[in-house]
Amino acid sequence: MLERIDALGESIEADAEAADTLGRLTADVAKSLLGTGIVRAGLPENLGGYEFSPRQLIRTIERLSYHDAAAGWTMMALQMITGTTAAYLGAAAAAELFPDVASGDHALLSGHGTRPGRAVPVDGGYLVSGEWQFASGMALATHIHSAIQVEDTGEPRILAMPKSQVTLVDNWDVLGLRATSSIDYHCTDVYVPQTHTYRATTMDPANGGAIYRIGIVNMSAIVHSGWALGVGRRLLDELKLYASKKSGTFHAAVDTAQFHAEYATAEARLRAARAWVLQAWQENEETLAAGELLSTEQETLIRLVLNHTTWTVHDVGQTVHRWAATTAIRRGPIDRFLRDLATGTQHITSGPIVLQNCGKWLSGAQPEAHWEFLDLVD
C-alpha cells in the first residue's frame, strides 16, 4: 500500500494547487487513490477488505498525508466512515452496500458523526430530519453517514442512506483543507430502514475482527493520528529543503545556531510523538488480540495521544512558519500544508474539552467514569 501511494506522489503533488481551487481532489487523483485500495484497507476482511491493523492504518494515512494533507484527510474520512459502516451494520445492509468489495463494488460513505439529527420511529425504521456539517470527502461519496437521536428514547444511532436523499450545501469556503469537499447537508422526514442504522456507542461489530471492537470514536483517533504525523513530517522536510537553498546567502537566518537548535527541538518532538502513537497502539492491538476490550485507561490514552500529537505537530508548524520566512506566506507546499494543519487542529477530537476529560480520569477526579464518544460519563 505504501509503495502504491508513493508511486502516485508526483501526480498528487502536481494536482494539489488545482484541487485547492476546486474544493475537492481532481478526478484523476481521486480515481488513482481509490485504485490503490486505500479505502479497502479499512473494510472488514470477511467482506473482502484488507482490514489493516491500527498501526498499518496509521502508517497508510501518514504516508498519503505526507504527499498532500487534503488528500490524506479526504481518504482517511472515506476509509474510516466506510469501514465502520461495513463493520457495524447487519447482514441485510452489508449485502446491499458492500456486495463485492474485492472488485471495488461497494458504497463510499461520507458524513458527520456529532450534533445528531432527529429520528422519529415508524414501522420498520425512522423518519430522519437534520442538518449536518463537515462531510469530508462528500464529492466522492455515494452514501451518507450521519448521527441521529431517536425521539422519546434519546438513543444515539448512526445511519447509512443514499446521498441522493439529502440536500448538499456547497459552502466549503475555508482557509485550509480546501480540497476535502467538507460541505454541509440536510434532509427532512427521510425514511431510513432500521436495518441501515446501528447503535452509535457499539463495540460489537457484525463484520470484521478485533479492530472494530474499539468503537467508532477510537477508530477516528487512529486515522487522525496518522494524518497529523504525515503533515508534521512533510513540514519539517520542507523546512530542511528551504534551509539548504538559503544557507550561505546574505544574512541567512538558517545559518544561525538558534535555527539549528529549534530545528532539532522540533525534530525531537515529532519523533517522540510518533513513538508514543505507535507504542500506545501496539499495546492496544495486544489487548484486542487477546480477545479483551480496551480499558478506560487505554481509551483515555488514545484520546490523549491524539491530542498530544495534533498540538505537537501544530507547534512544529509554528517553527516552520517562523524560519521559512516569506516563503511560508507565498503559494507553495509550505503555505498549503500550514493552512491545512491550522484547519485540521480544529477537529473536535483534539479539542480542549477532550483534553480536560483525559485529565479528569488520569488525575483520579473521576476514577469510576467511562468514555461515551468524547465525554467522560460516571
At residue 100, does pLDDT exceed 90? yes
Instruction: Summarize pLDDT for 184-242 with one digit per residue, the tens.
Output: 999 999 999 999 999 999 999 999 999 999 999 999 999 999 999 999 999 999 999 99
Could you tell me if 50 and 23 lie in one domain?
A: yes
Q: Return the pLDDT at 128.
A: 98
Q: Identify whether 205 is part of a domain.
A: no
Could you tell me if 304 and 226 lie in one domain?
A: yes
Residue-number span of the structural domain to which 52 is assigned: 1-102
Could you tell me if 190 and 229 lie in one domain?
A: no
Single out the residue in 173, 199, 225 at which a domain terminates.
199
CATH number of the domain bearing residue 75: 1.10.540.10
CATH number of the domain bearing residue 323: 1.20.140.10
Instruction: Summarize pLDDT for 115-147 with one digit per residue, the tens.
Output: 899 999 999 999 999 999 999 999 999 999 999
Could you tell me if 246 and 372 lie in one domain?
A: yes
Q: Identify whether 24 is part of a domain.
A: yes
Residue 173, Cα to own-chain centre: how many angstroms?
20
Nearest Cα to Cα of residue 340 among 181, 175, 187: 175
Query: CB under 8 Å, gap of 24 or more: what pairs does 58-62 form?
Result: 58/222, 58/223, 58/225, 58/226, 58/229, 58/277, 58/278, 58/281, 59/2, 59/226, 60/1, 60/2, 60/5, 60/226, 61/223, 61/226, 61/227, 61/230, 62/226, 62/227, 62/229, 62/230, 62/233
Could you tell me if 173 and 220 lie in one domain?
A: no
pTM of the entire predicted model: 0.97
Could you tell me if 336 and 246 lie in one domain?
A: yes
Residue with cell 509503495: 3
Q: Identify whether 68 is part of a domain.
A: yes
Could you tell me if 228 and 361 lie in one domain?
A: yes
Could you tell me if 178 and 262 lie in one domain?
A: no
Could you tell me if 36 and 184 lie in one domain?
A: no
At residue 113, does pLDDT exceed 90? no
Single out the residue in 199, 225, 254 at which a domain terminates.
199
Cell numbers found for residue 202: 457499539
Could you tell me if 96 and 237 lie in one domain?
A: no
Angle, CA 255 vertex, CA 252 and CA 256 arms, to 5°: 105
Q: Identify whether 63 is part of a domain.
A: yes
**Number of domains present in the structure of the chain:** 3
Phi-psi region of 69 (alpha: psi -120 to 50; beta: other; left: phi over 0): alpha
CATH number of the domain bearing residue 187: 2.40.110.10
Q: Return the pLDDT at 359.
A: 97
Could you tell me if 190 and 238 lie in one domain?
A: no
Question: Is the four-CA dihedral 11, 12, 16, 22 of positive or negative sign?
Answer: positive
Quick one: CA torsion of 31, 226, 69, 144, rounded to 10 degrees? Answer: 50
